[in-house]
Amino acid sequence: MKRAVLVRSAASVAAASVFAMAAVAVTGACSSSPDTARTTTIITPDYNAFKGTANGSVEAFLERRCATLDCHGQVGRPLRLYSRTGLRFADDAQNPPGGAGTTETELQANFQAVVGVEPEQTSRVVHDPTNNPPQTLLIVKKPRAMERHKGGQVVIAGDDGDRCLTSWLSGATDFAACQSASAPGL
């Protein structure tokens, strides 16, 4: 009796394998070539607000709180951030850590890294923050510790850092909150 069960199992596996190969062959025959002319438009938050002014910026907040060498300021991180005191852009060999301020190339790379975490969802948030609030984004959920974050909770919902980031994503950057959140001593 045990032998019959084994034979039946082997037959079932063989039949499933044949079915799977047939399904792959049919699917492959029906699929079309990728459309190389197709594009997806991503609406991004304001880059100028990201890099900010002397009165504060989203980038300064992220640099201060997230871009250290033991966090997102290292090559192996999915959200890689460059900063004056941390990781420097590879093409900027004349700009060592602790040297001159964050360069325009580094600012652009940081902006692309932040927007690139979830580009389609970021686009939805920027386009319609009322129906797609910033809290739906990993860039907000992880520092709030709503999602697993190796660095733990970095901001509390409603604090200056949180308002800096969420206001920027909503299109009305609170530069005072950004300046306060990036101040030394926090």
pLDDT(108) > 60:
yes
Please give the average per-residue pLDDT across 110-131, as a whole number: 95
| Higher local confidence (pLDDT), 144 or 12 | 144
| Higher local confidence (pLDDT), 160 or 17 | 160
Instruction: Name the band, by pLDDT with cuts 50, 70 and 90, for residue 139.
Output: very high
Rounded to whole angstroms, the Cα distance separating 180 from 161 reads: 8
* Per-residue pLDDT at 91: 67
Alpha helices in 31-118, H assignment, sequence order: 47-51, 58-66, 104-115
Please give the average per-residue pLDDT across 83-106, as a whole number: 79
Q: What are the backbone dihedrals phi and psi of residue 56, each rounded to the nearest 5 degrees, phi first? A: 125, 160
* Per-residue pLDDT at 100: 79
* Per-residue pLDDT at 2: 41
Residues 55 and 177: beta-carbon distance below 8 Å:
no
pLDDT(7) > 50:
no
Instruction: Name the band, by pLDDT with cuts 50, 70 and 90, for residue 92.
Output: low
Q: Sign of torsion, CA 89 94 95 100?
A: negative
| Higher local confidence (pLDDT), 113 or 31 | 113
- Domain-by-domain residue ranges, the chain? 1-29, 47-181
Instruction: Name the band, by pLDDT with cuts 50, 70 and 90, for residue 173.
Output: very high
As a whole number, the mean pLDDT across the chain is 83
pLDDT digits 0-9 by tens, 23-80: 555 555 567 888 888 888 889 999 999 998 777 899 999 999 898 888 898 888 889 9
